Amino acid sequence: MINKKEIESILSEQGFTEYKWVNPESIIVAHWVRVKCTFGCSDYGLGTCPPNTPTVQDCKSFFNEYKSGIIIRLNKFTDKNNYASEWSKNMTNKLLETEKQIFLKGYQKAFLLNQTCCGICKDCTGNRIDCKDKKNSRPSPEAFAVDVYQTVRNAGMEINVVSKNPSEINRYAFILIE
């Protein structure tokens, strides 16, 4: 059984205050998300992005292996043309530490879907085999075909398309726990 208070304490220690518990079976996995990754994302082909990820059906099966998950909302006012890379790296490091601390509490299946495409290395090798930091590289929810917009809305959190620039951006990370 998952001790939510124990995990929420870890989230608090890392400064994460906006989150929702979800049943991973409620995470919406859709082919259209994979197609948008393939045709429309400049990170397509990098180490933790398609085609270096499981099939859409395998992603759906993956979520069904978990009983609990957390959606963590991160926000930052920024210019989309000058993305807040240092902020994003800092958030990734905090998320990885959160995943690690949850794992160390005995949840061996803890797994992070990062709030953005992996950006750990300045120069990505472009494939999992040659990845320079396999231990810490994590896919984004979109790389696992997650319809982030609908899943987040279904969880009762706010999410909108950013139409003005500069503006507040919202990023969402998922941590799966068993």
Q: pLDDT of 55-106, one tens digit each?
A: 999 999 999 999 999 999 999 888 877 777 888 889 999 999 999 999 999 9
Q: What residue spans of the chain are helical by DSSP H?
A: 4-13, 31-38, 56-63, 85-104, 148-154
- C-alpha torsion 155→159→161→164, nearest 10: 180
Residue 157: both structure tokens together: 């959190």
146-156 as b/e: b if 16+ CB within 10 A: bbbeebbeebe
| pLDDT value, residue 134 | 72
Edge to edge, the sheet with strand 111-113 lists 19-22, 68-78, 167-177, 111-113
Q: Which parts of the chain have pLDDT scores under 50?
A: none
| pLDDT value, residue 136 | 78
| pLDDT value, residue 23 | 97
